[in-house]
A = this chain, B = another copy of it.
Amino acid sequence: MNDPHLQLAVCDYPEHVPKDRWADYARQQKALGLSYVRIAEFAWARMEPREGQYEWAWLDEAVEASAAAGLKVVLCTPTATPPAWLARRYPEILPVDREGKVRDFGSRRHYDFASPVYREHSRRITHALAERYGQHPGVAGWQTDNEFGCHDTARSWGGASAAAFPGWLEAKYGTLEALNTAWGNAFWSMDYSEWNQIRPPNLLVTEVNPSHLLDFYRFASDTVQSFQSEQVAILRELSPDRFVTHNFMIFESGFDHYEVAKGLDFVSWDNYPTGMLEFFTGWGSEDLKTRYARTGHPDFISFQHDLYRGLLHRPFWVMEQQCGQVNWAPYNPLPADGAVGLWTMQAWAHGADVVSYFRWRAATMAQEVMHSGLLRHDETPDRGHHEIEGFRLEQFPLGAVDSKTVQPKVALLHDYESLWLYDVQKHAASLSYWAQAVTYYAALRGLGQDVDIVHPDADLSGYALIVAPALTLMTPERAEHLEEAAQHAHIVFGPRTAYRTASGRTPEDGQPGVLAGLLGSKLLNFDSLRPGLSVRVQGPDHACEVHTWAESYRALEERHGADVVYRYTDGPQHGRAAVVRHGSVTVIGAHSEELIEHLLAGELRAAGLPVERLPEGVRLSRRAGKTLVQNWNAEPVQYGGQTLGPVSFEVMDD
């Protein structure tokens, strides 16, 4: 991790090809400028073909081949894919879907994190693998499992998880009376009189109690966390001085990433820009999806970079980087010429120390044969390989060791509990927590800002502007923390701020409950607007149309309540405040890209930050004294007195 500049890596699968290829591949990888190779995350059945019968010879040889070529190996615990013998002998390890169906062996991630039996096997194979390779000089570090939560697997809605859930609740609440009150179970006669009456909140007649859901999600998240921590403890013991990481996923919402990241040396994530844009349906019009079909959308991608950098406030890895077409979206176009370079350097600029391409050679078998690699099926270099050949990595310094090399003055607050509560009762079908968060984020990026995405309870001392797009869950401690932050920073809140308490109820004194003092206002009403229905707002020098969501406020009657910045000029909230400001704190209650951009620009200026309205598809990202100027358009653009080619970047000294 002391490399002076960006390093590259690749995901490789020696078990997928004849062993006579291994040494050649390693040499070619080294020749291409790659430093690391990640292997073995799906190789359990080859490590242990029958229970307790280990076969290490092939892996010894594979690790050796990489090491001999000068590559550093990232080894993985193989627990994402329990073998057939394990799933069939111990079917109680299998997870259960929301519909109550057992999710069977035959693909991947077919395990319940809460299964004591699976935990035992997880520890056993981790121990065996760490014992054999933990101190191997070629092994630089470890990845735990693979893509926790992928395919909606963070939660199992029956089986081992259902069995463990009541105990987790009892440990949390102590008494059923406390739980019944916290969940508001009086509502529909949902009081429990024994712990074992409680099940996961699926297969219900109608809507779920959001408090029930929230605690089930917390339970599942804790279970992912403890599953991983068992592996980490073993790796720490048997493989000292190696790093441990995990590769997280795009918009994965199945667990609290801040909790699960704890105990890792750094965070990794898997970056598939085209599939992400095509697959994720909550944000972006069809036109936007077509426009950016071959590059992905810059803000959609960097949102992830900034989020994952923020989990530990540390540089991260992209553990899997798309380098050609993917295979898992409804449409899987070829990336534009230049896209692999643009993705790679964007990752660097947002804090990636290593970018690892997925994968070396396209798979000739099974689920992913339509997915690309750096080599084609026939082992000829594919388009991504050719792009990488032209990289000049020395242009991309990492900055001083152990210092924060990406240093935004703007923070965007994000937490998973707010996400869960928002999405369980969306109230307006076409808006979601992620869509609302990305809307604010994209506005900031379009105004030329670097952004930290951070937990609301994190240290906020370095920021001039703090933006909380959808901070639904509020506690007294959090309110106090934000009040302190408001002493030195401007804060902007979006709709649904502080709608909920820690247990998922609403404050008894209405929204925003304990945050009312800071906001200087209280919520009056919220209005959910179907497509085609809109209202208008008018501010001091600007008016615009509002879609999807409109909420209104009244200033607190006490002196020094909030000032009204925008009012609704039509609709049921005609004359009511749509945007209020209280000292350095602004609340935006109306959903409108135009309004958000306009207000954020003002708040940035008020916070003393330079604002630049960037052209469509142009983005700036700064790291270690450099600015990466990016053109994500398929056409050249004029910017800063020069022409940027289509899908290209320039590195400039600050």
Interface residues of A (CB under 8 A from B): 13, 15-16, 42-46, 49-50, 78, 81-85, 87-88, 95, 99-110, 150-151, 153, 183-194, 196-197, 199, 201-212, 278, 286-287, 289-290, 293-294, 324-325, 327-328, 330-337, 363-370, 376-380, 382-383, 425, 427-429, 505-511, 522, 524-533, 571-574
Contact = CB atoms under 8 A, between A and B. Distances in A.
A205 B100 contact: no
A192 B105 CA distance: 11
A363 B505 CA distance: 9
Contacts of A108: 188-189, 205-206
A183 B366 contact: yes
Nearest to A372: B525
Contacts of A378: 507-510, 522
A365 B421 CA distance: 12
Contacts of A16: 184, 186-187
Contacts of A525: 324-325, 334, 382-383
A104 B151 contact: no
Contacts of A110: 204-205
15 contacts: A43-B186, A88-B194, A102-B203, A105-B197, A107-B188, A107-B205, A108-B188, A109-B206, A186-B365, A209-B367, A289-B530, A293-B530, A293-B533, A334-B527, A383-B525
A532 B290 contact: yes
B50 A205 contact: no
A366 B209 contact: yes
B109 A189 contact: no
Q: Name the residue among A82, A106, A204, A379 with the largest chain B CB count within 10 angstroms.
A: A106
A508 B81 CA distance: 25
Nearest to A79: B189
A370 B428 CA distance: 11
B572 A369 contact: no
Contact of A208 (B82, B107, B380): B107
B428 A332 contact: yes
Nearest to A209: B366
Contacts of A49: 191, 193
B106 A212 contact: yes
Contacts of A278: 530
A325 B528 contact: yes
Nearest to A294: B572
Contacts of A194: 84-85, 88
Q: Name the residue among A15, A44, A204, A325 with the largest chain B CB count within 10 angstroms.
A: A204
Given A427-B327, A522-B378, A533-B290, A335 B572 contact: yes
Contacts of A506: 364-365, 369, 377
A68 B88 CA distance: 62
Contacts of A87: 197
B369 A207 contact: no
A505 B365 contact: yes
Given A191-B84, A289-B530, A15 B186 contact: yes
Given A49-B193, A278-B530, A294-B572, 17 more contacts: A16-B184, A16-B186, A43-B186, A83-B191, A84-B190, A87-B197, A99-B101, A107-B207, A184-B365, A188-B366, A211-B366, A286-B531, A333-B572, A336-B572, A369-B506, A377-B510, A379-B510
A190 B88 CA distance: 12
A204 B376 CA distance: 28
Contact of A529 (B186, B333, B380): B333
Given A42-B189, A189-B83, A522-B378, A427 B510 contact: no
A189 B46 contact: yes
A355 B154 CA distance: 47
A240 B419 CA distance: 52
Contact of A210 (B206, B330, B367, B379): B367
A361 B356 CA distance: 56
A87 B203 CA distance: 14
Contact of A46 (B109, B186, B330, B379): B186
A392 B83 CA distance: 68
Contacts of A334: 525-527, 571-573
B333 A199 contact: no
Contacts of A427: 327, 332, 370
